[in-house]
Structure 1
Amino acid sequence: MDAARAARNASGVVSTAGDSVLNRSIMQLLEHVDYRLITGGEDLEAIYRLRYKSYLRSGMCGPIASGMFEDRWDNLPNSYRFGVYCYGELASTIRFHYISREHPNSPSVDAYPEILIERLARGETFIDGTRFATDPDSAPAPGVLPFLTLRLAMVASRYFGQNSVLTPVKLEHSNFYARYFNAVQRTEGKVFPGVLAPIALFEIPSGENMRLTLERFPFFRSTPTEQRLMFANPAINRLTPLSIVPTAKYYRDAA
């Protein structure tokens, strides 16, 4: 949700270098990235501290005595919390909820019930991506953290096969999501639970849009094994953290 300086840098990198250079750069960086499905302990505290640092810096939240940012949705049974580690250092974090008629609880459902409640009742399903936070000081290169982090949303999409991905974002970041994911704005900016800045709901359609995005950006691809490791069980149900190596370079259409 808070791409901040990294998202702005990303737009500049791609606008001058083109998709092919971006693809080569990210594929090379994935050699030094692992994704960690966070369960508890020091890893969980680390992503909460990163959220707080990022949100405080960007004006998304005020001072919190604990120095950590967590909320009531973190421990839901349909919650997946991830840390993105570059060269062994935590560089960004994001959380997903897979929401359906059977599991309708997530931040976006609470924030935008007028948009989502009826659609869930009709049987639509969504991935709700929230609490995106980055540490630009730990970025392996300028502007890459949004791509390395949001790759997780593409892996989730391949696993769940949902109708669309929901992403609540600041309006100043909307061009990034529209340009690279064909995101469609569904609401005006409004108060979003837990943060100070107005947030608008954007929706990234699946189906043909997903196919074209994976074709344009091969680093978003993943094998079924990677998909299962990430999303077969929510992090809250695991006893230990699980580190997952990205598999874009191993991807084959027949996998």
Structure 2
Amino acid sequence: MSSNDAVPPVEPQSRFAGTLLDVLDKVEYARIQPEDVNDPVYKLRYEAYRRENFLPYNSEEVYTDPLDLSPNAYTFGVFIEGRLVSSIRIHHITPDCRISPSLGVYEDILGPMLDQGMTFTDPTRFTADHEASLAYPALPYLTLRLGLMASEHFSVDYCLQSVRPEHAPFYRRIFLSQPMGPERTYGQLSFPIVMVGSHVPETLPRILRRFPFFLSTREEREALFAGPGRVSFGHKVAATAKLEQKLRREQALAAE
């Protein structure tokens, strides 16, 4: 689905949605150069994992893994008023590029779906600055917005979420995700994960009508997810949810 497709009018805006749209006026996203181990995103990730005792101390105080360098990986910093507040990594999985954290754990489930020609986005490595998470309780929404943008940009079948079992209800409530894989372990994590997923062609229009802060223009998506040679690494891209909401309302009025 693209910004120019005919879409139902945006639902009446809740106070929660309005508040997040206002916060988005201050939000920018930047895709990082994955080979740059000195990028502040990797330091933020290290600090977040150390805070949760997921990692041992290392003198560089950065954390990367081999999947950061995979050809289908997109890693982002999220900025509010110019300050780095969170980050996320997204893998775009296709039948020709079968690399991602979820695929490593649930290949027996996802492999046959890929054999049928399906595609996925796999957002992982969501980390946040501790002080920012207290100042902005809605930070997960502002960060996970990138996963929806990627899912729309690449027109995938499913947006995957491999998360702690206790976090799965959040994804069911917000992203209309359904169970896709049982509890398993991943790498050296000390807790189990489950895989849930949102069937994008069915759920994306419903999510965007309910939560307009997830809206984005095609221009924003292309600036963040363009192919090699067409993206400016480190360039901050403003959130465009309000603009896209305005455009859709104008489209709906013109269609009446």
TM-score normalized by structure 2? 0.85
Preserved contact between residue 33 and residue 86 of structure 1 (Cα < 8 Å): yes
Identify the residue that residue 80 of structure 2 maps to in structure 1: 86
CA RMSD of aligned residues (A): 2.3
C-alpha distance 54-189 of structure 1, shift in aligned 2 (>3 A): farther
Identify the residue that residue 155 of structure 2 maps to in structure 1: 161
Task: Say which of 75, 88, 98 aligns to 2:92.
Answer: 98
AA aligned opposite 1:28: D
Q: Deviation digits for residues 222-253 of structure 1, max 9, x if unmatched?
A: 11111111111269x85742211111111123
C-alpha distance 234-27 of structure 1, shift in aligned 2 (>3 A): farther
C-alpha distance 199-90 of structure 1, shift in aligned 2 (>3 A): same
Instruction: Give how far 1:63 is off.
Output: 3.2
AA aligned opposite 2:239: P
Identify the residue that residue 25 of structure 1 maps to in structure 2: 19
2:144 aligned with 1:150: yes
Separation (CA, whole Å) in 2 of partners of 1:132 and 1:200: 16
AA aligned opposite 1:244: V
Identify the residue that residue 9 of structure 1 maps to in structure 2: none
Number of residue equivalences: 236
Instruction: Give how far 1:201 is off.
Output: 1.2
Q: Give identity over the alignment, percent.
A: 33
Corresponding residue SS for 2:55: coil
Unpaired segments ≥5 residues, structure 1: 1-18
Unpaired segments ≥5 residues, structure 2: 1-12, 252-256
Separation (CA, whole Å) in 1 of partners of 2:60 and 2:33: 19
Separation (CA, whole Å) in 1 of partners of 2:58 and 2:165: 25
- Greater Rg, structure 1 or structure 2? 2
2:35 aligned with 1:35: no
Corresponding residue SS for 2:183: coil
Identify the residue that residue 9 of structure 2 maps to in structure 1: none
Separation (CA, whole Å) in 1 of partners of 2:200 and 2:207: 10
Identify the residue that residue 72 of structure 1 maps to in structure 2: 66
2:165 aligned with 1:171: yes
Instruction: Give how far 1:111 is off.
Output: 1.4
C-alpha distance 147-127 of structure 1, shift in aligned 2 (>3 A): same
Task: Say which of 243, 247, 250 aligns to 2:240.
Answer: 247
Separation (CA, whole Å) in 2 of partners of 1:79 and 1:189: 24
Separation (CA, whole Å) in 2 of partners of 1:48 and 1:128: 19
C-alpha distance 32-189 of structure 1, shift in aligned 2 (>3 A): same
Q: Deviation digits for residues 6-62 of structure 1, max 9, x if unmatched?
A: xxxxxxxxxxxxx71211111111111100111158785311121122122224334
Preserved contact between residue 32 and residue 39 of structure 2 (Cα < 8 Å): no
Preserved contact between residue 48 and residue 130 of structure 2 (Cα < 8 Å): no
Separation (CA, whole Å) in 1 of partners of 2:217 and 2:238: 11
Task: Say which of 117, 120, 123 aligns to 2:114.
Answer: 120
**Which of 157-166 and 193-202 deviates more?**
193-202
C-alpha distance 20-174 of structure 1, shift in aligned 2 (>3 A): same
Separation (CA, whole Å) in 2 of partners of 1:51 and 1:249: 29
Preserved contact between residue 35 and residue 69 of structure 2 (Cα < 8 Å): no
Instruction: Give how far 1:168 is off.
Output: 1.1
**Which of 217-226 and 164-173 deviates more?**
164-173
Instruction: Give how far 1:80 is off.
Output: 0.3
Identify the residue that residue 193 of structure 2 maps to in structure 1: 199
Q: Deviation digits for residues 84-115 of structure 1, max 9, x if unmatched?
A: 01111111000001110111111111111111
Separation (CA, whole Å) in 2 of partners of 1:198 and 1:65: 28
